[in-house]
Amino acid sequence: MASTALGVPDRFRIGRVFNDSFAVIGRNPALCLGIGVAFHALPRFVALLWYVNSGAARLPAKAFVSQNATIVVLGVPVYLFITAVLQTSVIRAAIVDLRGSKPVFADCFGVALALLFPILGASLLVTLGILIGLLLLLVPGILLLLRWAVTMPVMIQERRGILDSMARSRDLTKGSRWALLWLWLILIVTGTLIGLVITRVVLPLNITFGLLVDSAVRAVIMVLTSVAAAVSYVELLRIKEGTSVDELAKIFS
């Protein structure tokens, strides 16, 4: 049983979230990493390889869009679709694992398809709100990011509507947002540094191998952040409401 099964914590602890996140992936490596490869690493690698080998990488942004309008129009919804499926599937897997059951792909993928449009709607609304906050003034954007940090796990686990899930996330994160800020800063900074190393060191050695490494690493980071969101949701439930992992099964199975 994960460490989250031990008592009700007094506060949100970043170390416990990372420990439980790695534990979830460690108990389900084939499922979590397989989803990451299928819905992120492989599509990203193919797209980047085409982008480099076709000469599109040498085009200015405006010229690229005009010459590849069909690819851009089709590529954006495809990217949103596979990203939503990955995040929803991994979050579902993490929550099932944390309540003591064994997640399976059919269930995780089924939930992802069933909630596809609500998840896409929530993701777009949350992203738009955060971007507006960041553009107008940095602090409001960060605050909105923290308020809505567990919107997706709430929607997946509790089957609430978009606005209700955002409000629920706001209530759950209240009092723990400084810790959540540090959690996401660690994840973002680590991902950025790894990306810089790949760009400056690995890619110059061999472009194809570098793109493969980049795609694999980005997939792992996306899987980890999705699991961390699910673990954070479970932690917040236990902190705010004293809900045990076993009681999650009563909320949604």
Q: How far apart are CA 248 and CA 246, in angstroms?
A: 5
* C-alpha to C-alpha distance for 203 and 209, rounded to whole angstroms: 7
Output the 3-class SS for 163-201.
HHHHHHHHHHHCCCHHHHHHHHHHHHHHHHHHHHHHHHH
- Within a 13 Å sphere around the CA of 92, how many CA atoms are in the beta-carbon half? 28
Q: pLDDT 10s digit of each residue in the chain, 253 long?
A: 444 444 444 788 899 999 999 999 999 999 999 999 999 999 999 999 988 888 777 777 777 777 777 887 888 889 889 999 999 999 999 999 998 889 999 999 999 999 999 999 988 888 888 788 777 766 777 888 889 999 999 999 988 999 999 999 999 999 888 999 999 999 999 989 998 998 888 888 888 999 999 999 999 999 999 999 999 999 998 888 776 555 655 554 4
- Give per-residue burial for 30-44: e unless 16+ CB within 10 Å, then b: ebbbebbbbbbbebb
* Res 251: pLDDT: 53
Q: What spatial distance separates the first Cα and last Cα of the chain, rounded to whole Å?
A: 18
pLDDT at residue 1, as a whole number: 43
> Structure tokens of 111?
């939930």
**For residue 113, which of 145, 75, 85, 72 has the smallest C-alpha distance?**
85
* Element at 83 (helix H, strand E): helix 69-98
pLDDT at position 7 is 47
Classified as helix, coil or strand, 2 is: coil
Query: For the whole model, what pTM was predicted?
Result: 0.87
Minimal CA–CA distance to 222: which of 87, 91, 47?
87
List b or e across 185-199, with b for residues whose CB sees 16 or more CB atoms inside 10 angstroms. eebeeebeebeeebe
Contacts of 108 (CB under 8 A, 6+ apart): 31, 35, 88, 89, 90, 92, 93, 96
